[in-house]
Structure formats: structure tokens, C-alpha cells
Amino acid sequence: QVSGISGSLLAHIAEPRYRDFYQMKAILQVCHLSGVILVFLAALHHNAALRVGESLVEKMAGSWNVTGEQSVVQCEDITTSGKRVLLLSVTAPYHGSTSILQLMMSSPDVSNLCSYGENWQCDGMPIMRDEEGWSDDIDDWHGWQKPLQHFSTYWNLSSPVLLEKSPNLIHAIEDSVKELSSIELPELMRTAGVEGLELAYIITWRPPCLSPLSSHSYERLEHGSDEWIHHEELFYKQLVDAHKLLLEMGVPTLLINVADTLWRQDETLKRVQDFLPCVSGLGFDYMPEMGKDIFHGNHWKLESTLKSFGESVDPVDCCGYDVVTTECLDVSKWPPLEHALSRSSFIELISYLHSHS
């Protein structure tokens, strides 16, 4: 009887909507944990056990998206529950975090730190440097109590989602997750009716052949191709380790390929909206307004909408990038790439990021 139930469940999971490996793995883990219940019910009635098992599958499928990443829980009702989503956007420096912020700016439901007015690309790190004399390296920070206190001055605390995007946040993920899960909120937050935070992450990565789009890549290349390869591989490893750790810790996490914000915008928009169902009005055709969304001291880099920029740049001509396969195909566009792709460790990291975004 138990064997029959297991077979029926596997057939149920094999439906197209459950065919992603990581989603099936998560579902099967829960089914394994619920094995005692299924075996007990099997002794009573085969169909009863099957119905319970199918219910478990449906519930798991409802909380995981197609790449195996957990969705933000109860995000639609988060403000009425007294909570806010603390959304931390991380990536390697100069690898695309600003494009994610510009997308998020298009929604009235996301608040950022641009209003501080003197923080490069609206990052939170400069605020802590100016207000507390802290280092730009998050490893030198002294917990999240002070950052939340200062950031709350510039966030719109009535917004469902509070965003911070400093790239260096990637260096202290485990400590941040543990502390933020039970942190005492600052007075400003409590006065605004905020009773708790739901932590979520967006991790952004850039395929190596898109390096020609960044002037910083050329600066790095001046020190030799080995220097560029070393830093790119280090960045990729940090992102992969962060993604694995966040999923292991059960933190809602979305991994985004920067190329998709330029040339697969419809699909990317759907992924972000599925990940953050409490965020409305997102669009790639939004241009931040000076004096309202951004300020001179932010030194905002993007000079057009993401939609118009994506339309103005041919992915093959600029970068040898294939939008259909979402892979780098023509390595001649970026000289160090052929050498980098001869390293198995480099390829493994890229494959992981590619398969989860």
C-alpha cells in the first residue's frame, strides 16, 4: 500500500508544473518528513493517504517558484499585519544592482534610501559612514540596530517593502539573517506601526560576456586578463555561496541575470512580481525624476530607462550574448573570456547561476 501511494505521488509530482529538479527535491523532502503520517494513513485507507500526500505537494508547489526559490510569505497583507519586507539587493560592485533599484523605483510600494541625497547610487553604506564613522565594509559594522535607526529616517515606513542595495551586504549574510530575524526595531519604526520585518534577498549576477557594458571592467583589464578573471571568479563564488546559504536558511531569495533586465524584460517582470506579490506598478520603462526619486549627490549612473537601453544595444553585437539560450556564445567580444572559460571552476559557477535564474 505504501509503495502504491509513493508511486501515485511521484506521478503527481511528475506533472509539468513540478518538473524543476529543485522544486521536486523540496517537495520530496517534505513528503519524506511526513512519511510517518502517510504510513499511518495507509493502514487506514489508500485514498486518504494519497489525498494527504497530494495536499502536501500542492502546498509546497504554492510556496516555491519555478527555480526552487521560496516566495515572500503573505506579502499581500504585510502592512496590515504590522510587518514590512526588508529587501536586501546584493551583487558584486558595478555588476548591475543599480538596474534592479531603477526597476523597483517604478513601484509606489518600494521605498529606498535615495532621499539621503549624498549616498552613491542610493547605497546605505555611505549613510553609516557619514552618521557613525563606520567603514564601507559591512564586516566592520556593529550589527543592524544602528543602520535600521538611520535608514528609517529616509525610508517611507508606510511602504510594504524597504530596500537597501549596498553590494558589500553579501559579506555578512549569515550574521545578518540571524540578527534581523529577532532584532529589536528602532523607535522610529515602532512609532510608524512597524512590528516586525520579513527578510528577503535579490541577488544579481552579470554574465561575463556583458563585461564590455561596464567601464570598470576595462579598468580591471588594464591590470591584465588574469586579474579580471580572478576577480570575476571570486565574485561569482560569493554569489553562489550566498544563494546556497540563503536557500538553506529558508530566506526568500530571487536570483536575477542582469542580461534579463535588458533583453527578457517580460519574463523578468513576472518573476519579480511573483516573488514580491505586494509590489505593484513595476515597469522597465520608468525613468527616475531628479529631485523626487534621485538627487545630485546620488551620482545616478543610468541615463535612460532600462527598456530604451535594452532596445538600443544589440546583445550579439555588443557582447556575443544569445538571448534565446541566455548564454555567452561569441567569446571574441571580450578577450579574457576564452581563457576564463577554459577553467572548470569558472564554468561550474556560471552554470549554477545560469540554472537558478
Give how far the C-alpha of residue 307 lies from the chain's centroid of Cα atoms, to the nearest Å. 20
Q: Which pLDDT score is estimated for 138? A: 59
User: What mean pLDDT is reported for the chain?
Assistant: 80
| Beta-carbon contacts of residue 47 (< 8 Å; ≥ 6 apart) | none
The three-state secondary structure class of 256 is strand
Distance CA 212, CA 192 (A): 45
For 178, other C-beta atoms within 10 Å of its C-beta total 11
In Å, how far are 195, 259, 308, 310, 320 from 263, measured between CA atoms? 39, 6, 10, 6, 13
Closest CA to 111 of 187, 168, 189, 176: 189
pLDDT of residue 207: 92
Average pLDDT, integer, range 239-259: 94
Cell matching residue 187: 523607535
- What the block records as the C-alpha cell of 272 is 519579480
Residue 242 pLDDT more than 90?
yes
Instruction: Please give the model's pTM, rounded to 2 decimal places.
Output: 0.79
Least confident among 32-46, 73-87, 129-143: 32-46
Q: What is each CA distance from 126 to 104, 133, 152, 344, in whole angstroms?
A: 20, 9, 15, 37
The C-alpha torsion from 94 through 111 and 199 to 160, rounded to 10°, is -150
pLDDT of residue 202: 94
Please report the pLDDT score of residue 323 as a whole number: 94
H or E stretch at 327: strand 327-328
> What are the beta bridge partners of residue 197?
84
Residue 167: its pLDDT value, please? Answer: 74
Give the pLDDT score at 140.
66
Q: Strands 253-257, 321-322: parallel, antiparallel or unpaired by DSSP?
A: unpaired
Give the torsion sign (CA, 317, 323, 329, 334).
Answer: positive
What's the residue count for the chain?
Answer: 357
Measured distance CA(253)–CA(88) in Å, rounded: 10
Q: ∠ CA(7), CA(45), CA(34), 5° rounding?
A: 60
pLDDT band for 332, please (50, 70, 90 cuts). confident
* Lowest mean pLDDT, pick from 142-146, 147-151, 160-164, 272-276: 142-146
Q: Among the listed ranges 59-68, 191-200, 314-323, which one has the minimum average pLDDT value?
A: 59-68
20 has pLDDT over 60: no
In the prediction, which pLDDT does 62 show? 41
Q: How far apart, in whole angstroms, are the C-alpha atoms of residue 258 and residue 268?
A: 10
Specify burial of residue 298 (Cβ count, 10 A radius: 0-12, 13-18, 19+).
buried
What pLDDT was estimated at residue 18?
37
Q: Strand order of the sheet with strand 110-111?
A: 110-111, 161-164, 83-90, 196-205, 253-257
CA dist 256 and 236 (Å) reads 13
Nearest to 153 by CA among 202, 119, 102, 198: 119
In this prediction, residue 5 has a pLDDT band, given cuts at 50, 70 and 90, of: very low
Looking at residue 161, its pLDDT comes to 95
User: How much is the average pLDDT of 314-339?
Assistant: 87
